[in-house]
Amino acid sequence: MSKNAIIIGGGHNGLACAAYLARSGHKVTVLEASEYLGGLGATREFAPGFRASVAHTLPQLDRKLVADLDLEKHGFALAVDDLPTIALGLNGEHITITASGLQGACDEDTAAYPEYQRLLRRFAGAIKPFNSKRPPRIESGSKGDLLTLGQFGWNLRTLGKSDMREMMRMIALPARDLVDEFFASPLLKGALSWDANLGSRLAPRSPNNAMLALLLRMSGDLSVGLPLPRGGVGGLTEALAAAARAMGVELRTSARVEQVLIKEGRATGVRLADGELIAADVVVSNADPKTSFIDLLGARHLDVQFTHRINRLRTGGMVAKLHLALDALPEFTGLANPIGRLLLTRDMDAIENAFDAAKYGGFAPELPMEVIIPSLADDSLAPAGKHVLSAQVQYVPYDLKGGWDARRDEFLEAALNSLAAYAPNIRDCISSVELLTPADLEQQFNARGGHWHHAEYAIDNWWVQRPTYGASQYQSPVPGFYLCGAGSHPGGGIMGLAGANAARAVMEDN
């Protein structure tokens, strides 16, 4: 039956959810707090003529979303479909990683890499189908839930005895132990461990969660390699918005939701910050779980234990974003052309040391980072002859000791020094800087703690427990109120699957 649905938040998941619901005949309104749509996937101008998005590559995006919503017709395109990853050392030594293997590594590592990739791809392949399904309720006894659980067991079983045992053994390994088993080069190991820890409160020695994060990151299939979208990730979110609009979705910006309205135990609409009341049959929140349940719904409508679990979600982000407007292309020592995802992560100890400092509220003098100069492949992001540098900098505490206001410049110096260790002339090229700390990301993008996944992506908040049991099927404990953002299954990263799955959940339940 056709329903009136409100989506709180126009991030890529909210837009995907809206488009799928509208496609199935629902009347949908998206209410976005910011002046622009796209959330952490929006492309914004940060200096006159220079544009960048917080998320910068699309390793997790699935072809199905692009095809289902006809996103190419609505303007989505890739600038590069296999951006090489380049592990760069301080003296210019480097190893290039592409879909077809390693270049520049020692013979031993080059020979070991195909088996490492084969195993990870097999494990990721076993889990991937469940990313686009509603997680099952463990004890519901419903046919659908039993089938999903059965399929999960079957997918593990069909890995075969040897790979299944290996998966069970490797799933809880710290990234350090995992890559130590396969490789010798400290430079390569630093780079490979980066993908297992990026965006989480994890470093190479952290146990239990690295493999899950690594497999999530490998779940996309848009191209064989690492896709770089044209127009930044905003190229995707603008196409999602256009697709939603074409399906009749009303998209409202500068429309902050302040309260979800409840009548007789059911969500009946929302109140905006300016007092406007909007009624709806279903309210779906793309905001993070803490914001959704504690701020917008209110603990008084929730069970005490459920509220405790939501309050305990780990939401302090650890990644800052640095955008540089460049008058000229910087020279990276040892690289003729800096086109690629440059990992300035020289070894696992350097990464671990940066994490240690951030764990205790500080930052290390040497900050590991992932750098892309997307304007090398996409002239829509910078004026002719100029460039944009986009860097994900780890590890950066949300709650910096001494406060961000007092120590912002000091941190920026540390980040630029860390970059200059690889690109000595970087400071001469910079005309403008945008630094987004986790606290800035929270404030400007309305994502609690500025967390990459809206809430830590870890075994205790995974699949049937994401964000926590009682809300892991997108339906919340309050009838008519659903979640559809990165805090839900399958987690953060630009995938659109939380949005698509939530839309299906709304259709199934209503």
Ligand X SMILES: Cc1cc2nc3c(=O)[nH]c(=O)nc-3n(C[C@H](O)[C@H](O)[C@H](O)COP(=O)(O)OP(=O)(O)OC[C@H]3O[C@@H](n4cnc5c(N)ncnc54)[C@H](O)[C@@H]3O)c2cc1C
List contacts with ligand X (CB under 6 A): 8-14, 31-34, 39-41, 54-58, 60, 256-257, 286-287, 291, 296, 317, 319, 321, 392, 441, 445-447, 450, 452-453, 485-486, 492-494, 498
Please name the residue that has the structure tokens 């980066």. Answer: 194
What is the C-alpha separation between 510 and 4, in angstroms, rounded?
11
Nearer to ligand X, 55 or 416 (CB): 55
SS3 assignment for 51-88: EEECCCCCCCCCHHHHHHCCCCCCCCCEEECCCCEEEE
State how far the Cα of 34 lies from the Cα of 9, in Å rounded to an integer.
9
Q: How far is the CB of 61 from ligand X (least distance, A)?
A: 7
CB 291, min distance to ligand X, A: 5
What's the closest the beta carbon of residue 100 comes to ligand X, in angstroms? 22
Q: How far is the CB of 204 from ligand X (least distance, A)?
A: 20
Task: Report CA 158 to chain centroid distance, whole Å.
Answer: 29
Q: Which is nearer to ligand X, 58 or 354 (CB)?
A: 58
Report the helix count and the strand count for the chain, using DSSP H and E: 16, 20
User: Considering the complex, what minimum distance in angstroms separates the CB of residue 224 from ligand X?
Assistant: 17
Q: Tell me the residue nearest to ligand X as measured from the CB.
A: 11
CA distance 267 to 281: 7
Return the number of the residue (14 or 480) whose C-beta is nearest ligand X.
Answer: 14
The minimum distance between CB 248 and ligand X, in angstroms, equals: 20
Of 40 and 458, nearer to ligand X (C-beta) is 40
Which residue, 319 or 414, is less far from ligand X as judged by CB? 319
In degrees and rounded to multiples of 5, residue 254 shows phi and psi of 50, 40
**Sign for the pseudo-dihedral over CA of 307, 285, 452, 406:** negative
Q: Please identify, using beta-carbon distances, which residue of 14 and 338 lies nearer to ligand X.
A: 14
Cβ contact 186:346 at 8 Å? yes
Structure letter (DSSP) for residue 430: E
**Which candidate, 292, 343, 290, 341, places its Cα nearest to that of 451?**
290
Nearer to ligand X, 71 or 494 (CB): 494
* Distance in Å, CB of 461 to ligand X, minimum: 14
